Amino acid sequence: MNKSIITLCFIALLAGTAHARENPVKVDILAQSSQSWDGRQLPAYPTTTPEISVLRIEIPAGTQLALHQHPVINVGYLVSGELTVITEQNETLHLKAGDALIEVVDKWHYGKNEGSTPAVIVVVYAGTPGTPLSVHKE
pLDDT tens digits for 24-47?
A: 999 999 999 999 999 999 999 989
Cα separation, 138 vs 7, whole angstroms: 66
- Give the domain extent around 90: 51-136
What CATH number did the domain enclosing 124 receive? 2.60.120.10
Confidence at residue 6, expressed as pLDDT on a 0 to 100 scale: 55
pLDDT class of 2 with cuts at 50, 70, 90? low
In a domain, 100, yes or no: yes
- Is residue 81 one of the residues assigned to a domain? yes
Q: Which residue has the higher pLDDT, 86 or 11?
A: 86
Assess if residue 71 is contained within a domain.
Answer: yes
pLDDT tens, position by position, 64-78: 999 999 999 999 999
Indicate if the pLDDT at residue 111 is higher than 70. Answer: yes
Q: Is residue 34 part of a domain?
A: no
In a domain, 37, yes or no: no
Sheet strands (E) in 5-89: 51-59, 68-69, 73-80, 82-87
Q: Are 98 and 57 in contact (CB under 8 A)?
A: no
> How many independent structural domains does the chain possess?
1
Burial (0-12, 13-18, 19+ Cβ within 10 Å), 34 = exposed
